[in-house]
Chain A
Amino acid sequence: MTERVEPAWMRTLRSQAMERFGEMQWPTPAEEEWRRTDVSRLGLDSYAAAPAPKAACPREADPGTASGVIRFDGGQCTEVALDPQWQEKGVRLLPLDLALEEFEIPLYKLFHDAIKEADNRFLAWHYGTWSHGAFLWVPPGLEIAEPFVMEFAERGEGLFSAPHVAVVLGEGARASVVQHIRGDETADGPMGLLCNAAVDMHLGDASALRFCEMQELGARSLYFRHARADVGRDGSLRHVDAAFGGRLTKTRVECSLSGPGAEAYLDGVYYCRGDQHMDIRTVQHHRAPRGTSRAYYKGAVASGRTVFQGLIEVATGASGTDAYLTNRNLILGETARSDSIPTLKIGNNDVKCSHGSTTGRLNAEELFYLECRGLSAEDAREMLVIGYFEDLLASAPERYRDDALARIRERLHAPSAA
């Protein structure tokens, strides 16, 4: 067992984050963003830190068809694999703690800005206590087709973990990442696991990143996630998230279009059943001219409650902005509850901004049509629900799309077993 020794700058940043943590209170429903998700009865202070992982010295492995793979089990990095052709060209896929020295400059900036902008206690807590994580660096001009896979198996009843992912793309680089967060039976007690995750993405000028996240924590766990992306001039972000697990999830995806001509696509699917509570926030922040952004979130709610709060914010100087925000909710059960709050804050007249939201149930005529063609009621329903989600997942990497659709199918056939 080697004690983890961090560089002094990271220790300083952690203590700054913990200082902010100490100054803040847990968010209350008095704050608009937390109005529909009350965390006061979750006993947040009673979760214990997961045991500190050993300094990562993962075994090398074969990435298979992926460009690279990194796996964590209970906070410990167990496997890292990187396609040698990318390794030679300077790509780095590392456990975060092993990247701190080599990538001090970009990581210091990412963490420093995140701590400075942290507007709630979960964020300050994450940056003070992040326990394990993955780092990906793609040098300028490299175009990598196959995704990098990051798998996190989070375990431990009554424990909290704080996994972090940092992705930095050099100018003109292109890459995609698939991140899986899973839980297991070790966190199926009454408290479950508290997973307080964050992702920081920095997209250099004219770079393109596709980041797909899937969350399948256990039914009792709590999941907090904050993903931030900073998109440079003519850069392009495609972020997809799929939420399935957890008794309570509260997530935020925030993209800042900081360079002219940047674009961002924020897509997401969620499936809520049993007594699940899912609260999802997206922010499309246009800070520079001629940006394009789209947020498109689709959910199915069998029971439990979903909250979608989307925001398009256009700064005064961001002329030529084109932004759209859509949320659709498919209500599958009588006790389902679904709130949709798509908001716009526009400080500029040279914009095209709009949003749409629909909430409804499966179309009875379409069901009838399919049943007339000989499908059972259950198959007809499945076909419509899968069709509802499929268009949104169409652009995601195949393995991610298939995984997500498989989770949706399972849930359709077990509507209450959360």
Chain B
Amino acid sequence: MSEQSQAVEIGEYQHGYHFPDESVFKTRKGLNEDIVNAISHRKQEPEWMRQYRLRALAAFRRKAMPNWGADLSDIDFDALYYYAAPQEQQSRRWEDVPANIKETFERIGIPEAERKFLAGVGAQYDSEMVYHSIKEDLSRQGVIFTDPETAVREHPDLVKQYFGTVIPYLDNKFAALNSAVWSGGSFVYVPKGVRVDVPLQAYFRINARSFGQFERTLIIADEGSFVHYIEGCTAPIYATESLHSAVVEIIALPGSRVRYTTIQNWSSDVYNLVTKRAVAHKDAIVEWVDGNLGSKRTMKYPSIYLVGEGAHGEVLSIAFAGKGQEQDTGGKAVHAANHTSSVITAKSISKDGGVASYRGLLKVNEGLHDVRSRVVCDALILDETSRSNTYPYMEINSDDVSIEHEARVSRISEDQLFYLMSRGMSEQEASLMIVSGFLDPLVKQLPMEYAVELNRLIELEMTGTVG
């Protein structure tokens, strides 16, 4: 065992490229009404949004910190910047993206070929969209893919109708914080019957010291439509703690299907406290694919409220907790209608003293029939100092249900290692192969380029090298 732990040292954080902070407009540290008003003013928002932010700020102050989950006592809300705008106006074309930002993206390794594949890139530098393009055919189909600031200006009716309806600012302290200071993110509207064939993607980065990033994403899939949204993020390394607290709301109207994929690879000083929730109406399907590799502490439980008959929800969650990391992740399914089904699959790996926790909720409301759900959690612990916890909550209030839950925690089996090593692999190669096999069912669910990226990241985490 000891040989193995030596062999799988984590390498230097390879995405830690940091460029001088060139933000032009930045609020001072801390949070109060003046700062919220300044953000709202800077964004030239209508009065209703400013009022919404102020109400959320009041809720943020009232709400208690969660008394469960990861240890958040290090967060000093007064020592953070809540808003910084980048130096450039929003670009139209890739060529207009400032050179240093391009260089950052280059180093994260967005391949040239992949860029062509992208339908539209909403790449976020600090809090604003700096680059944004939509393929013309999507625009023709009436798909709206923009940042939420633009949506507030150009599509106020849609925003008013749905914004904050899935995750009200009273939901929890961090949703309240996001609602008060949100900046950037994505707004997606897919009209009736439209199928978006290529995934919509946005890259997020944090690039100002002690700067919290509070993006806000709202996805509305109208009847019978389909969209796959992909969010990936990686951030430069800093000594001071950063806070990332996003809110993602999805409305899947009758018969639609929404898939939301996240590969989170924040640097190891970021608190990643995110509220993600979807509402699935009649016969709608919502899938969350959630990979958590980075950050210091993550608390994230993508949720699906199955409110229409025949709705189906799936959550696939991967967590990798390395040195100093705490991944408190999972998924929630709330069944509020007949003939609904859900599947939650979670896989976690903890290593070098990391803590991986699965935390989930499965709830069946009263008086329902034909509700099915299955929750499966598997955890691998790679060494003696790492921890794994499982907290699955199941609240069943109906009788015509079929609920199954399983969880397993184990280490890499010595039999498997022995077998592979007797075939000529080194212990390190064998461990990597077993870990890749363990994650394979999830990796398969990712689009090809993400699967490649994820495999590379796992390899990096396991061996300290790539290739």
* CB <8 Å contact, A343 and B367: no
Give the bracket for the number of chain A residues in contact with chain B: 35 or more
Interface positions, chain B 390-418, Cβ under 8 Å from A, are 390-411
B415 CB to closest chain A CB (Å) equals 13
Complex-state Cα separation, A359 to B399, whole angstroms: 9
Decide if A316 is an interface residue (CB 8 Å cutoff).
Answer: yes
- In contact, A350 and B384 (Cβ under 8 angstroms): yes
Quick check: is A358 within 8 A (CB to CB) of the other chain? yes
Docked Cα-Cα span, A30 to B67, in Å, equals 9
- Chain A contacts for B405, CB-based, 8 A: 340, 342, 355-358
A360 within 8 A of B: yes
| Binary B-proximity of A330-366 (CB < 8 A = 1, otherwise 0) | 0111111111111111111111111111111100000
- Interface assignment of B388: CB less than 8 Å from any CB of chain A: yes
Q: In the docked arrangement, what's the CA distance between A30 and B405, Å?
A: 26
Complex Cα spacing A332 to B387, Å: 38
The residue that B409 contacts in the complex, of A335, A336, A344, with Cβ under 8 A, is: A344
Nearest-Cβ distance from residue B197 to partner chain A, whole angstroms: 40
CB of B349 to closest CB in A, whole Å: 11
User: Are A337 and B409 touching (Cβ within 8 A)?
Assistant: no
Q: Is the CB of A339 within 8 A of B408?
A: no
Q: How far is the CA of A331 from the CA of B364 in the complex (A)?
A: 13
List the A residue with the shortest CB-CB distance to B375. Answer: A357
Within 8 Å CB of B382, what residues of A?
349
- B397–A343 contact, CB under 8 A? no
Q: How far is the CA of A345 from the CA of B358 in the complex (A)?
A: 10
B261 at the interface (CB under 8 A from A): no
CB <8 Å contact, B411 and A350 = yes
Report chain A residues within 8 Å CB of B388: 344, 346
Contact with A along B401-441 (1 / 0, CB 8 A): 11111111111000000000000000000000000000000
User: Does the CB pair B390–A359 fall under 8 Å?
Assistant: no
In the assembled complex, B68 has its CB within 8 A of some CB on chain A: yes
With a cutoff of 8 Å between Cβ atoms, the chain B residues found around residue A356 in the complex are 404-407
- The distance in angstroms between the C-alpha atoms of A346 and B382, with both chains bound, is 12
Do A349 and B389 touch across chains, with their CB atoms under 8 A apart?
Answer: no
Q: In the complex the two chains form, is A359's CB within 8 Å of B394's CB?
A: yes
> In the complex where A332-B399, A333-B399, A348-B384 touch, is A342 in contact with B407 (Cβ < 8 A)?
yes
Q: Is the CB of B406 within 8 A of A345?
A: no
Contacts of B88 in A (CB 8 A): none
Q: Which of B367, B403, B411 has a CB less than 8 Å from the CB of A357?
A: B403
Task: Report the Cα distance A336→B400, complex, angstroms.
Answer: 11
A32 within 8 A of B: yes
Which single member of B387, B389, B399, B406 contacts A331 (CB below 8 Å)?
B399
- Given A30-B67, A316-B384, A329-B396, the answer on whether A334 and B406 have CB atoms closer than 8 Å is no
Closest Cβ of chain B to A115, distance in Å, is 26
Please give me the residue from chain B that is nearest to A338 by CB atom: B396
- Residue of A329, A332, A348 touching B381 (CB-CB under 8 A): A348
CB distance from B7 to the nearest CB of A (A): 15
**Cα-based distance from A358 to B408 in the complex (angstroms):** 15
* Option from B393, B403, B410 in Cβ contact (under 8 Å) with A352: B410
| Chain A residues positioned under 8 Å from B342 (CB to CB) | none
Interfacial chain A residues near B309, Cβ < 8 Å: none
Interface size on B, residues (CB 8 A): 36
Interface mask (A301-322 → B, CB under 8 Å = 1, otherwise 0): 0000000000000001001000
- Give Cα A341 to B393, complex, Å: 5
Q: Which chain B residues (361-375) contact chain A, with CB distance < 8 Å?
A: 366-367
A342 proximity list for chain B (CB < 8 A): 390, 392, 405, 407
**Cβ B401 vs Cβ A360 within 8 A:** yes
Cβ-based interface call for B9 (8 A): no
Does residue B45 face the partner (Cβ distance < 8 Å to A)?
no
Chain B residues with Cβ below 8 Å from A349 are 381-384, 386, 411
Contact A343 B390 (CB under 8 A): yes
- A339–B367 Cα gap in the complex (Å)? 15
**Which residue, of A316, A335, A353, has the highest number of chain B Cβ atoms within 10 A?**
A353
Assembled-state Cα–Cα distance A358/B402 (Å): 7
Contacting residues, chain B, for A319 (C-beta < 8 A): 384
A316 contact set on B, CB distance < 8 A: 384-385
List residues of chain A with CB within 8 A of the CB of B379: 346
Tell me, in angstroms, the Cα distance from A350 to B383 when the chains sit together. 8
Cβ–Cβ contact A339 & B398, under 8 A? no
Q: Which of A335, A358, A359 has the most CB of B within 10 A?
A: A359
The residue in B387, B389, B393, B396 that gathers the most chain A C-beta atoms within 10 A of its C-beta is B396
By the criterion CB–CB under 8 Å, are B381 and A346 in contact? yes
Closest Cβ of chain A to B347, distance in Å, is 14
Q: Are B404 and A358 in contact (CB under 8 A)?
A: yes
Q: Taking CB as reference atom, which chain A residue is nearest B410?
A: A352
Of all chain A residues, the one with the shortest Cβ separation from B374 is A358
A359 close to B401 (CB less than 8 A): yes
Chain B residue with Cβ nearest A309:
B393
- Which residues of chain A have C-beta atoms less than 8 A from B396's C-beta? 329, 331, 337-340, 359
Smallest beta-carbon distance A292→chain B, Å: 15
Give bound CA distance, A143 to B181, whole Å: 70
Residues in B neighbouring A350, C-beta threshold 8 A = 384, 411
- Complex Cα distance, B366 from A353, in Å, reads 32
On chain A, the residues within 8 Å of B394 by CB distance are 339-341, 357, 359
A341→B399 CA distance, assembly (Å):
18
Q: Which of A357, A358, A361 contacts B399 (CB 8 A)?
A: A361
Please name the residue on chain A nearest to B373 by beta carbon: A359
Query: Measured between C-beta atoms, what is the minimum distance from A27 to chain B in Å?
Result: 14
A337–B403 Cα gap in the complex (Å)? Answer: 13
Contact B389 A345 (CB under 8 A): yes
Q: With a CB–CB cut-off of 8 A, which chain B residues contact A352?
A: 409-410
**B408 partner residues in chain A, CB cutoff 8 A:** 353-354
Taken together as a complex, chains A and B put the C-alpha atoms of A336 and B389 apart, in Å, by 29
Residue of A nearest to B359 (CB): A343
CB-contact partner of B387 in A340, A343, A345, A358, under 8 A: A345
Please determine whether B407 and A344 come into contact, CB atoms closer than 8 angstroms: yes
Contacts of B403 in A (CB 8 A): 340, 357-360
In the assembled complex, how far is the CB of residue A34 from the closest CB belonging to chain B, in whole angstroms? 13
Say yes or no: B401 contacts A331, CB within 8 Å.
yes
B398 touching A334, Cβ below 8 Å: yes
Q: Which residue of chain A lies nearest to B363 when distances are taken between CB atoms in the complex?
A: A339
Check if B399 sits within 8 Å of A347, measured CB to CB.
Answer: no
A334 to B389, CA, bound (A): 33
- A353 to B386, alpha carbons, bound, how many Å? 15
**Bound complex: CA A359 to CA B67 (Å):** 28
Q: B388 to nearest A CB, angstroms?
A: 5
List of B residues within 8 angstroms of A340 by Cβ = 394, 396, 403, 405
- A residues near B407, Cβ cutoff 8 Å: 342, 344, 354-356
Closest 8 CB pairs of A and B: A349-B381, A344-B390, A359-B403, A331-B399, A357-B405, A349-B411, A354-B408, A340-B394
Residues of A participating in the B interface, judged by any CB pair closer than 8 Å: 30, 32, 316, 319, 329, 331-361
Q: Identify 10 new A-B residue pairs, CB closer than 8 A, beyond the known A342-B392, A349-B411, A355-B390.
A: A334-B398, A334-B399, A335-B366, A336-B397, A339-B396, A351-B409, A352-B410, A356-B404, A356-B406, A359-B394
13 residue pairs of the A-B complex, CB under 8 angstroms, read: A338-B396, A339-B395, A340-B396, A340-B403, A344-B407, A344-B409, A345-B387, A345-B389, A346-B379, A346-B387, A350-B384, A351-B381, A358-B402
